[in-house]
Structure 1
Amino acid sequence: YQNTWDFSTRQVVAATTLYAKWIPNTYTVGFDTQGAPSIAPIAMTYGTTLKNAPVPVRTGYVFDGWYQSPEATRAWDFSADPVRSDITLQARWSVERHLLIYHINNNPAAKAPESISYDFGSTIQILDPIIDSSADGPVFDGWNTSMDGKGTFFTPGDTITMADKAITLYAQWFTPAQQVSAKGFHTLVLKQDGTLSGMGYNSNGQLGDGTKTTRKSPIPILEHVQSVSAGIGHSLVLDSQGSLWGMGGNNLGQLGDGSTISRAVPVRIMDSILAMSAGGYHSIVLKQDGTAWAMGNNEDGQLGDGTTEMRRSPVKVMSDVQAVSAGEYHSLLLKRDGSLWAMGWNDYGQLGTGDAKSRFVPTKVMDGVQAVSAGFSHTMILKNNGELWATGNNERGQLGDGSLINRLAPVKVMSGVKAVHAGASHTLVTLNDGSLWAMGSNEYGQLGDGTQDDKLLPVKVLLDIERANAGNLFSHVITSDGQLWAFGVNEYGQLGDGSSSSRTSPVRIL
């Protein structure tokens, strides 16, 4: 086929045979991927087949083949079906199905819901685990995509979208908090299983972990504990057998072990103990027989033994006592008959005696009292009828009476009160309905109301609170279901959230 015959110019002068030359048509095969990334069209010669068909990829779907139309029942066979015209082939897909797996995460008292396969992209409502309500143990706290709880968190009733692979949700469990105590810059947390943890400042070994390393998250300290009390730089622990243990600063004999040597691990002090309170640099202890004992700093008569002598070992102060509370330099004793007695520093009227004279022996303040709490230089008194009374320093509004006037004698603040805790210069109050109220200094957010403004009157902060503790410019609360929350200054990690950032609103710790 060297030359093409030109019929317009060539003459036939002899017998001639002309041969037809054929060029096959080229057709375009297009691809409609139906949601997958696009595929470029392919040019194909008439009647040929494609040896290597393109295979699209679409997340969450299985490729079923190429079809000439939505109605087609047979997939295009690239190895057998020749191309004879321009065509557009359409991808056909099937939705993948994957398992949603519930992992109970090491709790033999619970059973995981059944694992079920779901279509990719479908919306699934997350289920509750099956829990043996008669069994003691940790409390269910939701599901997480990570076993250690650092993934995405879900609660039963939430929805999740099925991914392009199986999803495993791990049950999260926590042991509820029973008590929290803080006064200086460290915090002690007692869980319902009797384990004790601590966080914050540890320069004196007050966390009792054998070091003097500051901790920003709770670290385990002891087991078999029934109550705790944190002072400025020392700590007291009551074990399940009624023995009292102490750790931390002891320069003034506040641990009561007969020495002035600080302890980085707990040291046993005395037995048959019912309760105790760690103050600034002294301690008040209540024995099971109702006698109150005191040790440590006594420069203002806060031990109540009639002297100002420091005591390295406990000295008996009073009988028929049902509760004790130690402030920074003053102490409160609540007798079994409901009478309140006070001793120690009284410059602000924190003893409630109507004057500013310090007392070196317990002095009666009032009757009809069910609970007391000694702050640094103010005192909160809960009466049998649920009325809250306050006395002492009020320079930051910590008494909650709407003024900044120091009170030498108790004044009524609120009614319907369940519990109260006095901090350095702020106060936390729990009402009978479980609501938490706060007043006083708030420069670091220690009132937990989201501001840094002092409050002269109680402000409502939270609901469903079981216990509260006011420390030095920070606070902790335990909710009715045992969760631990914190707010306020956090310079030494005393809030326990792993940081040193102050919080003006509650952040969950446990």
Structure 2
Amino acid sequence: MKFFFRTLTSGLTGVAVILGIMMFGSAAQATITPSSGPAAGGTSVTVEGIHFVQVAGGSSHTLALTNLGTVYAWGGNNDGELGNGTFTNSSTPVAVMDAQGLLPLTGVSQIAVGDDFSIVLLETGEVYAWGENDYGQLGDGSTTGRALPTRVKDSDGTGWLSGVSFLALGSTHSSAILENGTVMAWGDNLYGQLGIGTFVDQLLPVTVKDSSGTTALAGVSAIALGQEHTLALLESGQLMAWGENFSGQLGDGTTVSRSLPFAVSDASGSGVLSQVAFIGARGDHSLVILNTGESYAWGKNNSGQLGDGTTTNRSRPVRVMDSSGNAPLGSTSKIIAGYRSSYAQLSTGELVAWGRNSLGELGDGTTNDSLLPVFVLNAAGDSALTGISLVTSGSSHVVAVLTSGTTVAWGDNSSYELGIGLSTHYATLPQTSANFQPQSVSFGSNVAGNLTISSTTWAVVSPVSTAGHVDILATASVFGGATPASPALVTWKAGLFTYEPVLATTGSPAPVPLGIAATLALLVGLALLVGWRRVKRS
């Protein structure tokens, strides 16, 4: 897959317009349906529009990955965590740039966010990081902060980290699952959160060890990082934990920090937690969903972030309760940890939240903490938010992408991390956040008509053209908030369209389109006719 971008300045004073042309391979052309039609035009064509496929929240910034492999960022930028070469906060999305700061970064397959730094995995297997680097969390062998992506090195610093399948970040430490099921970690290690048996920070990736400290931890399928602790889900469904444990966030029944992985206890303390399907961590607490759909939590609980109706810290898993506190929370499909709050997406689609709410992070229209789950409400505050496709929590803010393609956010906005284009300090209900507004679709140099939008699908009617192949170019504005003042523009190649030739017929009111098969059949027929006439004459 090849990409190229160029940056232009519009004729409008002070308005930056980013124009990107993306060259796709054949796989991307499947997003154009159909991919051919008559030169006379009039074909109804659907085009996949640009939209977010991943979102990730940090302490005061947000990252979002598009289906085109580009990344947008907004919010706080004191440490260069937006990756656009500046240290200026942004209330609207800005494109993350490449290592040279000349072109938008492309070909990204996964994003991850720490407190004040960001890391991405490229389709090529390369890993890049930017932002704060006081503890070596960027993995480039230094403690120098970066406002542009820098490539993560390998363990000896002479090559590059490779073979990565998944990334996860804590407040100031980083981890990566490799394709072979082992884990690499780097950055802050004050409490042993790197899992290597020591308490020394690492500026380059090192291999996480097993509980014996002699071999690599293996068979890891997922990882989640809290402020200074790490969880690792094994393929067996067992959960391992290590790092800081002052609040019981390791779930082993103690408050003793560990520099090597240790099995998380079950709720009774008589065995190990098993049948774990989904994990989450942030701050000083941990969350899981079991194969049964039940949710459990442990660790710090000073704001009710464990959802058990108390503010008592727990060193072993406890069941998350429902809003009445009389029964366990119903079946959940995803669970997410904020710094002192927690979120669960129910199997029915709604999102519930519990814990700290002083900045509106629970999204229920209030600033009242809740020791039990409450429904996140819609923008009007009159019913539960529905149609949630993606959701992420930063330290004190939440961003959700709806199935309609709209992005909404709520909670802390002191550094513009909601991406709503406003300086409002916080929002207690979901607000329209970073979004794309379709502008036009062109077939070569000809603009298509009748542009209509349905979620992330754009529908147009092909214009008249000459026979042959043309690029379909789509353009959208990217902005934060519901009413953008000066949105940027992004243009990309959405696919290739083939205009088929037409056969003019005498007396016919309009040309008759011929496909390739029909044309070949006509030529064969003419050849047979000529041959038959020659045979007849002879």
TM-score by length of 2: 0.63
Deviations 1:356-401 (A, max 9, x none): 1111101111221111111100101111111110001111111111
Q: 1:199-218 to 2 correspondence within 5 Å?
A: 199-218=74-93
Determine the structure 2 residue equivalent to 1:141.
none
Deviations 1:150-203 (A, max 9, x none): xxxxxxxxxxxxxxxxxxxxxxxxx32211111211110112222210011111
Counterparts of 1:110 and 1:447, CA distance in 2: 41
Percent of aligned positions that are identical: 37
Counterparts of 1:109 and 1:335, CA distance in 2: 40
Determine the structure 2 residue equivalent to 1:470.
393
Counterparts of 1:319 and 1:377, CA distance in 2: 25
Shift of 1:504: 0.7
Q: 1:313 to 1:387 in 2, by over 3 A?
A: same
Determine the structure 1 residue equivalent to 2:428.
504
- Residues 1:488 and 2:387 are matched in the alignment: no
Determine the structure 2 residue equivalent to 1:456.
371
Note the aligned Cα RMSD (angstroms). Answer: 1.8
Deviations 1:275-303 (A, max 9, x none): 11111110111111111111001000100
Determine the structure 2 residue equivalent to 1:142.
none
Shift of 1:236: 0.8
Question: What one-letter code is carried by the residue in structure 2 that aligns with 1:507?
Answer: Q
Question: What one-letter code is carried by the residue in structure 2 that aligns with 1:430?
Answer: Q
User: Which structure 1 residue ranges, 5 or more long, are not aligned?
Assistant: 1-107, 112-129, 139-174
Determine the structure 2 residue equivalent to 1:336.
235
Partner SS state of residue 203, structure 2: strand
TM-score by length of 1: 0.66
Deviations 1:105-151 (A, max 9, x none): xxx9799xxxxxxxxxxxxxxxxxx9634x4x21xxxxxxxxxxxxx
Determine the structure 1 residue equivalent to 2:344.
429
Question: What one-letter code is carried by the residue in structure 2 that aligns with 1:218?
Answer: P
- Residues 1:379 and 2:286 are matched in the alignment: yes
Determine the structure 2 residue equivalent to 1:238.
121
Q: 1:91-110 to 2 correspondence within 5 Å?
A: none
Larger Rg: 1
Counterparts of 2:294 and 2:127, CA distance in 1: 32
Given candidates 275, 290, 295, the residue that maps to 2:186 is 295
Question: What one-letter code is carried by the residue in structure 1 that aligns with 2:294?
Answer: E
On the 8 A contact 2:118/2:130 being kept in 1, the answer is: yes
Partner SS state of residue 132, structure 1: strand
Counterparts of 1:379 and 1:214, CA distance in 2: 30
- Residues 1:316 and 2:201 are matched in the alignment: no
Counterparts of 2:274 and 2:33, CA distance in 1: 50
Counterparts of 2:306 and 2:207, CA distance in 1: 31
Counterparts of 2:129 and 2:109, CA distance in 1: 14
Shift of 1:464: 1.8
Shift of 1:473: 1.4
On the 8 A contact 1:109/1:131 being kept in 2, the answer is: no
Shift of 1:508: 1.4
On the 8 A contact 1:320/1:336 being kept in 2, the answer is: yes
On the 8 A contact 2:288/2:295 being kept in 1, the answer is: yes
Determine the structure 2 residue equivalent to 1:224.
107
Q: 1:397-412 to 2 correspondence within 5 Å?
A: 397-412=304-319
Given candidates 21, 38, 62, the residue that maps to 1:187 is 62
Q: 1:110 to 1:449 in 2, by over 3 A?
A: farther
- Residues 1:354 and 2:278 are matched in the alignment: no
On the 8 A contact 1:450/1:504 being kept in 2, the answer is: yes
Q: Which has the higher contact order (CA 8 A, sep 6+)?
A: 2
Q: 1:390-401 to 2 correspondence within 5 Å?
A: 390-401=297-308
Counterparts of 2:33 and 2:207, CA distance in 1: 50
Shift of 1:467: 2.2
Counterparts of 1:205 and 1:450, CA distance in 2: 32
On the 8 A contact 2:170/2:282 being kept in 1, the answer is: no
- Residues 1:440 and 2:347 are matched in the alignment: no
Deviations 1:231-259 (A, max 9, x none): 01111111122221111111111111111
- Residues 1:261 and 2:261 are matched in the alignment: no
Question: What one-letter code is carried by the residue in structure 2 that aligns with 1:322?
Answer: S
Shift of 1:449: 0.8
Given candidates 34, 45, 48, the residue that maps to 1:132 is 45
Counterparts of 1:341 and 1:131, CA distance in 2: 53
On the 8 A contact 2:186/2:203 being kept in 1, the answer is: yes
On the 8 A contact 2:409/2:430 being kept in 1, the answer is: yes
Task: Work out the number of aligned pairs and report it.
Answer: 348
Determine the structure 2 residue equivalent to 1:283.
174
Determine the structure 2 residue equivalent to 1:26.
none
Counterparts of 1:291 and 1:185, CA distance in 2: 31
Question: What one-letter code is carried by the residue in structure 1 that aligns with 2:189?
Answer: N
4+ aligned runs moved over 4 Å, structure 1: 108-111
Question: What one-letter code is carried by the residue in structure 2 that aligns with 1:453?
Answer: N
